[in-house]
């Protein structure tokens, strides 16, 4: 893969009737090239449906990633909740693989009152266990824990890059909106964005940038970090500088727009990205 595919988090609003299959067709009509299948409320896609989606996506040249359920905490004080969290990620990975998705992302854990180093060790152990389970099932999909939007959540870029070094087969899903919100607006310059990409390249190699899982949209933050996603025109995040850094670092992979106005903002991002690529 040598180019960045841009699309929506889930079914575009203009899809009629609403279904994942029709969403693939609608994205092709719009000229977008990617969709993230949203399993955030649970995995409710069987193998037959998933394989139908795969065939349609291949026909229309739409790449796919998946987002696992929100109900995940690999640092729960209750062991059964950790087991359930891993099961949810595996379920999303399995359905995603049936559909031909390349990467599954998720919010890995909360710190609670634990030392971040202890939390890192627990998350690392879970990643190793999940990779072993996926390997035994022959499920070919990447585990891509996501950078998170608040200081109570495990998932700084540095933590996730370290995971990628320590656990081959794990790569960060870089949500630039979350990095901006987590920093309370400080992470918002071209130097910050390019520095993040440089950190990935220097630790995980050039190929990691060629197959990068990315989230980007407008976002609102408060004292505790992320509050909600916003349309691009309402955000303070310098998304144009994010795209410029992606162009300059020759990043390929999959960029998912999580805006409240899904395809409208995805098309804005794609148009600006193509303009920057051509200059």
Report domain extents, the chain.
4-278
Alpha helices in the chain (DSSP H): 20-30, 47-60, 79-98, 116-137, 157-166, 176-182, 190-204, 206-210, 239-248, 262-278
The pTM assigned to this predicted structure is 0.96
Cα dihedral across residues 6, 101, 200, 158: positive or negative? positive
Residue 30: predicted pLDDT: 98
Provide the pLDDT for residue 1. Answer: 45
Q: Could you report the per-residue pLDDT of 73-126, keeping only the tens digit for each?
A: 999 999 999 999 999 999 999 999 999 999 999 999 999 999 999 999 999 999
Contact, 155 vs 145, CB < 8 A? yes
pLDDT number for residue 279: 87
Q: Which residues of the chain have pLDDT under 70?
A: 1-2
Query: Are residues 164 and 128 in contact, defined by beta-carbon separation less than 8 angstroms?
Result: no
4-278 homologous superfamily: Divalent-metal-dependent TIM barrel enzymes (3.20.20.150)
Kindly report whether the peptide bond that precedes residue 163 is cis, defined as omega within 30 degrees of 0: no
Q: Can you give the length of the chain in residues?
A: 279
> Nearest CA to 144 among 130, 152, 135, 24?
130
Residue 175: what pLDDT? 98
CB 140 within 8 A of CB 180: no
Pairing of strands 225-230, 218-222: antiparallel
Q: Please tell me the distance from the alpha carbon of residue 108 to that of residue 255, in angstroms, as a whole number.
A: 20
Q: Which residues pair with 6 in a beta bridge?
A: 255
């Amino acid at each position: 893969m040598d180019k960045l595919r841009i699309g929506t988090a889930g079914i575009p609003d203009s899809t009629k009737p609403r279904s994942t299959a029709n969403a693939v067709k609608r994205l092709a009509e719009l000229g977008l090239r990617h969709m993230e299948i949203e399993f955030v409320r649970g995995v409710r896609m069987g193998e037959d449906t998933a394989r139908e989606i795969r065939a349609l996506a291949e026909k229309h040249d739409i790449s796919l990633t998946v987002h696992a359920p929100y109900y995940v905490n690999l640092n729960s004080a209750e062991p059964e909740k950790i087991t359930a969290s891993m099961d949810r990620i595996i379920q999303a990975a399995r359905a995603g693989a049936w559909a031909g998705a390349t990467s599954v992302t998720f919010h890995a854990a909360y710190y609670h009152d634990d030392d971040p180093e202890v939390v890192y060790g627990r998350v690392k152990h879970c990643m190793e266990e999940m990779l072993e389970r996926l390997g035994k099932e022959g499920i070919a999909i990447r585990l891509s824990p996501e950078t998170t939007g608040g200081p109570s959540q495990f998932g700084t870029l540095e933590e996730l890059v370290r995971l990628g070094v320590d656990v081959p087969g794990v790569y960060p899903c870089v949500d630039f909106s979350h990095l901006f919100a987590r920093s309370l607006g400080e992470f918002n310059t071209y130097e910050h964005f390019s520095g993040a990409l440089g950190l990935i390249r220097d630790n995980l190699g050039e190929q990691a940038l060629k197959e990068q899982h990315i989230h980007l949209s407008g976002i609102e933050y408060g004292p505790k970090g992320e509050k909600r996603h916003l349309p691009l025109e309402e955000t303070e995040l310098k998304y144009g500088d994010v795209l410029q850094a992606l162009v300059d670092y020759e990043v390929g992979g999959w960029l998912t727009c999580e805006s409240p106005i899904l395809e409208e903002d995805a098309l804005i991002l794609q148009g600006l990205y193509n303009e920057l690529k051509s200059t």
